[in-house]
Amino acid sequence: MAQGQLQASKLETLAARLQELLTDEFSTQVLSGSMMALWVTANPLRLSHFSAGLRELYGHTLHTVAPDDEVKSCEWFSAETQDGRPSRRQRIRFGIQGGLSDEAVAALGVESNEIHGEMLAVIDQLSKFTHVRPNTIEVAPEEAEAFACDAVATFVAFFETLEECRRGVRRAVEYAVNDHALEVFTQEMFSEIDILSTRSAVDGVQIGSLEITSIGPALVNYRVTGDVYVELSYGSKSDFQRDMGAEIRTDFPFLLTMSAPVGALKAFQDPNPSIDTSSWYDDGDSEDDNFAKITDY
């Protein structure tokens, strides 16, 4: 395969990956249009059209993931522009780490400084090629596609660094989340469980997924799902003494949302737990037999 074909194949792969990462339909349309413009090799302005589209996509994405008010609410923010609005570098920083300090990000094992410089350099180059000048028309096809590869790859790297930061937070808090979920579900009485039996108790929890839904200027928001294991008792104490009581052990899915300060990722607050017991009331389509779970008479 010729060098040009290899470059085109790499670019198509990168563009497909970026398409998966973009946050809205507008963004996917802008990327598609930019790529279509680049593939019209007979058009001397193809790199200019591609650069104009991708530069706008960079701008739209940074303003979406890093709104002015949220960036300016971060402890690390200080004005770098004449009008006081966040700079591109600050938007990139917030998009990746929210209000987390650089020290906290480094402690998570995330290297973000490199992507800051790379994105700024790419945006400057996109601006250069957007403005039609004699030196921006006479760009060899191989050079144009190499630049396009770099521009798209840097965009992908931004999203991957953003996700790497969230993975770092998940690793840092996963054991504490498990302990806190157990505390939440065992220390409260849940009506959806309580109505199923004479007495009920949550024996344990198993975390299925932990998602960082957002890293804001002051708080990290978590979404936790999994299963709670419960013991349902039927009958009074005297019924059990006469071997007339019954116990069923079963499990139900749960959802728990909560947050923590960016400076104390394990200091969970405002828990909002819920347990889905709808399977208990199914119409008989389920293969589970609740009575088969009876462990004591």
Residue carrying the six token digits 């470059």: 7
DSSP state of 86: P
Q: What is the pLDDT of residue 39?
A: 92
Q: If you count DSSP H runs as helices and E runs as strands, how many of each does the chain have, helices first?
A: 11, 5
Q: What is the pLDDT of residue 297?
A: 44
Q: Return the amino acid letter for 138.
A: E
Q: Return the amino acid letter for 283.
A: D
Q: What is the pLDDT of residue 204?
A: 87
Q: Return the amino acid letter for 60.
A: H
The DSSP bridge partners found for residue 269 are: 259
Mean pLDDT by 10 residues, the chain (297 residues): 64 95 96 95 92 97 97 96 94 97 95 93 94 81 92 97 96 96 86 72 89 97 94 63 66 94 97 89 60 49
pTM of the model: 0.85
Q: What is the pLDDT of residue 235?
A: 57
Euclidean distance between CA atoms 16 and 20, whole angstroms? 7
Q: What is the pLDDT of residue 160?
A: 96
* For the chain, domain boundaries: 3-168, 173-296
Q: What is the pLDDT of residue 251?
A: 87
Q: What is the pLDDT of residue 7?
A: 63
